[in-house]
A and B are shown apart, each in its own frame.
Chain A
Amino acid sequence: MSTLVEAPPATNSPLSTVTARPRPFRLVRHSLALAKRSLIKTWRTPEALIDVTLQPVLFLVIFVYIFGGAVAGSTHDYLQFLLPGILAQTIATGAIAIGVNLNTDIAKGIFDRFRSLPVPRSAPLVGAVLGDFVRYVIVTISTLASGYVLGFRIDSDPLRAIAGCLLAVLFALCLSWLPVLVAMKVRTPGAVQGLMFALIMPLSFASNVFVSADTLPGWMQTFVDVNPMTHLVAAVRGLFLGTPVGSHVWWTLAWCAGFVAVFMPLALRAYRKKI
């Protein structure tokens, strides 16, 4: 520790403040730097990826082999039908983790450090949301890979298949502002988890994820028709299987825009008020 007292801490004049080079797009650059932080954290704690790696595999196996024969007459037909739905469901539940993590993080004090720096106030949240991009890509890969092993085949072309994947990832990125908002409002990580499951489970079951919507009673179809999950699943299904997608891609994009327009400002406001 003797070196401690000898060397000076500052590179430049000790009283100088930060040698800030005013550069444009500060929010973007700071958000990306903070997204990198999230990525490093994800990389360092692989066990936190179970929800996005193991869960789609389990759901595919369970649903295909238990319900496949009864629902679709053959497990292969059902797998073709179900996989886009499982992708949508897992990617939506995968968005819950960000809320749980943020709720934990804010209690630890690193966010206070961010707030004492000349960093745009929204950058830590935007960064966290962007950093989860990787988790959603992992969901997509593990769902498709395990589906392939079970016999799933893409019937359209690679370009449309990629578009389907990107649509699902975009959906999760936009939807994740909801768990971020919840994380700002409730006290414990467990409460974030509980509340978000209570919100996402009805969305994924009262939809076309597991069965075709025509089999449902009329009153429920009304809900299913507006359910964002329905549009996402129908769009991805069409893009993967080469069937018509109708207006579902546009509806999905509209929902994405809606999530960001509503939940992002609310989440940012709650964040400013929270601390």
Chain B
Amino acid sequence: MIEAEGLVKTFGKTRALQGVDLAVPRGTVLGVLGPNGAGKTTAVRILSTLLTPDGGTARISGFDVVRDAERVRQSIGLTGQYASVDEDLTGRQNLELFGTLLELGRTGSRRRAAELLEWFDLTTAADRQAKTYSGGMRRRLDLAASLVGSPGVIFLDEPTTGLDPAKREDMWDVVRSLVTNGSTVLLTTQYLEEADALADAITVIDHGRVIAYDTPEGLKRVVGGQTLEVRPADPAQLPRTAGILTGVGSGAQADEIRKGVLAVPVAGDAALTESVARFAAAGIAVTELSLHLPSLDEVFFTLTGRTAADDDTTNRTEVAA
């Protein structure tokens, strides 16, 4: 499990963390949601012993990340924008190297590498250099590398940023099965959708401060839940479409949010199938039909009253550190 109180970290003039508390009970997933430069990566780097905090304390499975760093390193797995694999080595060589470094022994390392390659569907690519891998394969290898030691606590720093939606869902399945196996996961993301799909609790951070901590349901209650968006094929059908949408929605009137596109807040996924049935019954053809959670920008606007503009200077400092 992960516990952090009052984490502070300053890089020069940039205050990357200004007193962040985090708590992840054993066997659960915490989603840390925030824009670039919010301090997500800094927090993960402190928790995974790569950075020393300027203030505050953090413990992983009861071990202090500063004083017991060595014990912490034995129980964590780190996958992120930075903790990567060696591109000149093959997938298998990478995993075997980490096995050796984790004291699994020669046969133990080989067996574990083969097992993970199989599990991550990389067996056919196992003996190719990692630099030849596609984006999705590369992410899977990164994740596999952090699981070599069967860690109880796993940090995933933006595991799906840059992946296409199908690959993203594959990654989500992997994370879900890790949790089924009892791992504790801290996941950072820029997508409310991702945090909602995976996390038991969500911490929203902005400019190095926690601005919300809640269950996905609780957070959605505050920032607004899903929205159903529809574009009828024939613009003349907009009024009838709006009538049906208002019917399946959670009470509010359907609105034309873009030219030819109507949107209505809905209570759950069922509204999607419900609306499809009703459109079919009414003989209305639609060219677009989709369900959305609020974007990060909308979440931030609701929580802070301003947009989550990327603070580029903060971000650069974070990366440079």
The chain A residues found within 8 Å of chain B, CB to CB, are 1, 3-5, 7-12, 14-21, 23, 29-30, 33-34, 36-37, 40-41, 44-45, 108-110, 112-119, 275
A17 to B88, CA, bound (A): 29
Q: Tell me which of B10-18, B75-83, B236-244 binds A.
A: B75-83
CB pair B85–A113 under 8 Å, yes or no, is yes
Q: A residues within 8 A CB of B105? A: 21
CB pair A18–B89 under 8 Å, yes or no, is no
A12 to B101, CA, bound (A): 18
CB pair A7–B102 under 8 Å, yes or no, is no
Given contacts A115-B49, A116-B49, 15 further A-B contacts (CB under 8 A): A8-B177, A9-B119, A9-B150, A11-B111, A11-B112, A14-B150, A14-B152, A14-B181, A19-B103, A37-B93, A108-B84, A113-B78, A113-B145, A114-B101, A117-B149
- One digit per residue, 1 when the CB lies within 8 angstroms of any chain A CB and 0 when it does not, for chain B 65-81 equals 00000100111101011
- Given A4-B120, A4-B174, A37-B97, decide whether A118 and B112 contact each other with a Cβ distance below 8 A: no
A21 to B102, CA, bound (A): 9
* B72 to A: closest C-beta gap in Å: 9
Q: Is B133 an interface residue (CB 8 A)?
A: no
A118 to B151, CA, bound (A): 12
Minimum-distance CB pairs A-B, first 7: A18-B149, A14-B181, A109-B84, A109-B82, A17-B75, A10-B150, A14-B182
The chain B residues found within 8 Å of chain A, CB to CB, are 26, 48-50, 61, 70, 73-76, 78, 80-89, 93, 97-98, 100-105, 111-112, 115-116, 118-121, 129, 145-147, 149-152, 170, 173-174, 176-178, 181-183
Q: A residues within 8 A CB of B112? A: 11
CB pair B101–A33 under 8 Å, yes or no, is yes
Looking across the interface, which residue of chain A has its beta carbon closest to that of B93?
A40
- Residue in B76, B111, B173, B181 whose CB lies within 8 Å of A10: B181
Looking across the interface, which residue of chain B has its beta carbon closest to that of A42?
B88
CB pair A119–B129 under 8 Å, yes or no, is no
* B19 to A: closest C-beta gap in Å: 24
Q: A residues within 8 A CB of B119? A: 3-4, 7, 9
* B171 to A: closest C-beta gap in Å: 9
A11 to B85, CA, bound (A): 22
CB pair A5–B48 under 8 Å, yes or no, is no
* B304 to A: closest C-beta gap in Å: 31
Q: A residues within 8 A CB of B98? A: 113, 117
Q: A residues within 8 A CB of B173? A: 1, 4-5
* A98 to B: closest C-beta gap in Å: 15
A275 to B86, CA, bound (A): 18
CB pair A11–B115 under 8 Å, yes or no, is yes
Candidate in B48, B83, B174 with the most chain A CB atoms within 10 angstroms: B83
CB pair A40–B152 under 8 Å, yes or no, is no
A163 to B181, CA, bound (A): 57
Q: B residues within 8 A CB of A21? A: 103, 105
CB pair A16–B103 under 8 Å, yes or no, is no
Q: A residues within 8 A CB of B147? A: 9-10
CB pair A20–B82 under 8 Å, yes or no, is no
Q: B residues within 8 A CB of A45? A: 88
A to B CB contacts below 8 Å, 28 in the list:
A1-B121, A7-B118, A7-B119, A9-B119, A9-B181, A10-B147, A11-B112, A11-B150, A15-B182, A17-B74, A18-B103, A19-B104, A19-B150, A20-B74, A30-B100, A33-B100, A37-B97, A41-B89, A109-B80, A109-B81, A112-B50, A112-B78, A113-B84, A113-B85, A116-B50, A118-B70, A118-B73, A118-B101
- Residue in B76, B89, B116, B149 whose CB lies within 8 Å of A37: B89
CB pair A23–B103 under 8 Å, yes or no, is yes
CB pair A9–B116 under 8 Å, yes or no, is yes
* B75 to A: closest C-beta gap in Å: 4
CB pair B88–A275 under 8 Å, yes or no, is no
Q: B residues within 8 A CB of A40? A: 88-89, 93
CB pair A119–B101 under 8 Å, yes or no, is yes
- Residue in B82, B100, B176 whose CB lies within 8 Å of A112: B82
A15 to B82, CA, bound (A): 25
- Given A10-B181, A113-B145, A116-B48, decide whether A18 and B86 contact each other with a Cβ distance below 8 A: no
